Structure 1
């Protein structure tokens, strides 16, 4: 039995928990007390309590987390009062036009506390901003300057996100050249939560590319039959478990792959955003899931 002790009483190296308290009692209270002493290091024989139960093997892949806490709210700052304007994008806070060269800079602050869904994208345990987020940022920046096509975008290095630090992001759009083509680049700098605005690491360039105004061509459209006639279905039921074993840590938000079909060298897929999300042009998790058939096709 577990002996009840007065609140605050105790002996060094000895754990004391209560089993009878005012308004509490019965099997549930006893089970909680047993759990408390177990956590304190006492070897509890659970067999009588769990009669009829059996041991099961734990999965070899990483546990998939499901959060039940509401994400922390984001503070809202009046960008216009700072000489800026709202950026109109979930990952960016403000935008400012550059004089006199007709350029544009969009800024934002990324952290896992503010955007907890980003933690669902990790490689070998390291959380990185998905490459598809850079595409989405480029699309939004282009829409701000009248360029609706990302002509090219080269990802130069990953943007690592870690808890306890905030990352400043700048999306810079250059002035148009003679053909209306604009350069674009994405930089970041880690900002310590307790440091002033000018303190932090050096700026790092993660992506560089070009924006143009025009209609993208070369898109082959399906004939309306789905799945495509003659395509053979690929079993991807265990795809995310297998990918986790290879170091790809896709959490619930990024597990958007629903079905895959193969027709020769072509892959066709159903992808879906698993949860409600902020309004993006193309949500990074959804666009990322559209690339998962390439990975799934290699492991099945």
Structure 2
């Protein structure tokens, strides 16, 4: 898993509603309700609705007083959409604008995957708009766009079966979320998954885990966005247990591949490419 910084029942279905009567099929994802394959280019569009009352875990991702879908949520959406068309590699995903959930009501979401080009690469976009109908095309906001492909050979990553890794020194994480809170990141329990961390040179290793009440829900995701988000929280620790002045926020993802689904706990290895100032990270979980 690489990175450059890495519905409840929907409005379309659930409760016995037959969405196939409208020419749709089940999107088979907790953030999405329905899907349709496009006739002219073999692309696909998946739709859903997000709200704090139907997806209360997202409310735990409070940034400066706003409830945001985490960047890892866009990664999850793109990977799921790619899997529907045989594209398991998210080559790149660039976040364009935050998706803010209102205190009341919700937002409609569309994930669109285009037709394959000559090399098999497909575009992917994520848009949203407020619940109200009749807004016209200007009501839609582009939140993320990128590219998907079938991918190539699996990359070799560091073996994490020996834990903690040899030579890694434990780093305290007990005040990590107090630090983030002072910076405006009011993470609730679902996003407070960082349990332990170690450092070896420039590499950071960590354990992250979802709270037990989220384990069943995690089985419906490829990788629960809150768990992947917590994996990146380990990047805030340094040798002395102090925290950097700014929290790590994902904005561009590259070469993301999912090899297993439904995890509730992760072992994490965070490496770095380029200078520390570039904040270019390589994340393996």
Give the TM-score band, short-chain normalised.
0.7 to 0.9
Q: 2:251 maps to which residue?
A: none
Indicate if the aligned counterparts of 1:107 and 1:170 stay in contact, CA closer than 8 A.
yes
**Residue among 241, 244, 256 paired with 2:193:** 256
- Larger relative contact order (CA 8 Å, sep ≥ 6): 2
Q: 1:19 maps to which residue?
A: none
Number of aligned residue pairs: 226
Flag the structure with larger Rg.
1
Residue 299 (str. 1) matches residue 243 (str. 2): yes
Once the two structures are superposed, residues 266-292 of structure 1 have per-residue CA deviations (whole angstroms, 9 ceiling, x without a partner) of 000001111324210000000001000
Indicate if the aligned counterparts of 2:9 and 2:33 stay in contact, CA closer than 8 A.
no
Tell me the SS of whatever aligns to 1:291. helix
Tell me the SS of whatever aligns to 1:165. coil
Superposed CA RMSD in Å reads 2.0
Q: Which structure is higher in strand share?
A: 2
TM-score (norm. length: structure 2): 0.75
Tell me the SS of whatever aligns to 1:280. coil
Structure 1, unmatched stretches of 5+, are: 1-70
Report the Cα offset of residue 295 of structure 1.
Answer: 2.4
**Residue among 13, 18, 25 paired with 1:85:** 25
Residue 158 (str. 1) matches residue 102 (str. 2): no
Tell me the SS of whatever aligns to 1:241. helix
CA 1:72–1:99: 2 relative to 1, 3 Å: closer
Residue 125 (str. 1) matches residue 65 (str. 2): yes
CA 1:93–1:73: 2 relative to 1, 3 Å: closer
Indicate if the aligned counterparts of 1:149 and 1:216 stay in contact, CA closer than 8 A.
no
Once the two structures are superposed, residues 72-94 of structure 1 have per-residue CA deviations (whole angstroms, 9 ceiling, x without a partner) of 97672321121100000000000
Residue 227 (str. 1) matches residue 164 (str. 2): yes
Q: 2:131 maps to which residue?
A: 191
Indicate if the aligned counterparts of 1:159 and 1:188 stay in contact, CA closer than 8 A.
yes
Once the two structures are superposed, residues 125-161 of structure 1 have per-residue CA deviations (whole angstroms, 9 ceiling, x without a partner) of 1110000000000110011001111011111111011
Residue 208 (str. 1) matches residue 145 (str. 2): yes
Q: 4+ runs of 1 displaced by more than 3 Å?
A: 71-75, 215-219
Report the Cα offset of residue 241 of structure 1.
Answer: 1.4
Indicate if the aligned counterparts of 2:9 and 2:30 stay in contact, CA closer than 8 A.
no
Indicate if the aligned counterparts of 1:267 and 1:293 stay in contact, CA closer than 8 A.
yes
CA 1:180–1:131: 2 relative to 1, 3 Å: same
Indicate if the aligned counterparts of 1:91 and 1:110 stay in contact, CA closer than 8 A.
yes
Structure 2, unmatched stretches of 5+, are: 1-6, 245-285
Q: 1:57 maps to which residue?
A: none
Report the Cα offset of residue 223 of structure 1.
Answer: 5.8
